[in-house]
Amino acid sequence: MDPVLVASLLALGAGVGVAAGLLGIGGGMILVPFLTFLLPRFGVSQELAVHASIATAMATILFTSLSSVRAHHKRGAIRWDVVRAMTPGLIVGGILSGGAVFAVIDGTLLALVFATFVLYSAYKMGRNTPVPQGRAMPGRPVIAGMGVLIGFVSGLLGAGGAFLSVPFMLRGNVPVRQAVATSAALGFFIALANSVGYIWSGQAVNGGQPGMLGYIYWPALLIVSAMSVLTAPVGASLAHRISQVTLKRIFAAMLSTLAVYMIVQAIFHA
């Protein structure tokens, strides 16, 4: 295995780990464009590169999120009541997405629609618009329904769901540090459900290529995850030192970048 390619994956893992701990993201959408470029150089066929990149990026969230969650939990920042209410929906949405729709869907229109939503969320967050006093998180049925949506969309994009779950919780007057920490916990269940789906749906199409487990390229999964697990606590520590306004603006900048990426990808793959 080319040492330069391995070093590239290690560097990616380090950056994703810090971002995961700082912003509660899984890092999947950061990884996807880089993996799309790198995986063919590891021998993955060009026809499978995009699907394999999304699936592999999602699978890394299993490991990164656990490290991030451990660091946030020590600070008592995770809203476990939200995690319990949303997890069943996340699993349903993730299995539907990764196990059924992922292999056949053309995501161009979906990417454009959600990029627009993400840009709007980034704009509102960047302005630090105050949430009306008295607004609270909705009841369990609404949270569970939101979980289905987040799990489903995240599976199509290879994301950990923070771009939807954090704005949703902020609208419910959850403090931004708690929203980021809780999103990290939600990311584990999103990744688990979708990874099972990717493995199942990819068995028939990967052509028995070496290193492929369904749609997941496991050598890259191991290399990236090994580094991201080490650096996620660094990001979590930073999240509890930065002011809430600054943290919101960092998250808004990340959302804007991802939205632009989604739009560009949709246009060039239309």
**Residue 180: closest CA among 124, 238, 133, 228:** 238
Rounded CA separation 43/155 (Å): 24
Give residue 182's pLDDT band: very low, low, confident or very high (50, 70, 90).
very high
As a whole-number percent, the residues of the chain with pLDDT over 70 amount to: 83
Residue 103: per-residue pLDDT: 65
Instruction: State the average pLDDT over residues 110-138.
Output: 67
Residue 111: per-residue pLDDT: 61
Residue 58: per-residue pLDDT: 86
Rounded CA separation 44/37 (Å): 11
CA distances from 251 to 176, 231, 254 (A): 10, 18, 5
Domain that holds residue 174: 3-268
Residue 251: per-residue pLDDT: 72
Q: Is the pLDDT of residue 186 over 70?
A: yes
Counting the structural domains of the chain, the total is 1
Paired with 212 in beta bridges are: 217
Q: Is the pLDDT of residue 23 over 70?
A: no
pLDDT, averaged across the chain: 80
**Residue 193: closest CA among 70, 88, 79, 104:** 88
Instruction: State the average pLDDT over residues 250-267.
Output: 74
Listed in sequence order, the DSSP H helices in the chain are 3-23, 28-38, 49-74, 80-96, 108-126, 140-157, 162-171, 176-202, 218-239, 244-268
Distance from chain centroid for Cα 229: 15
pLDDT in tens, 206-218: 666 778 888 898 8
pLDDT in tens, 56-97: 988 988 888 888 888 888 888 899 999 999 999 999 998 888
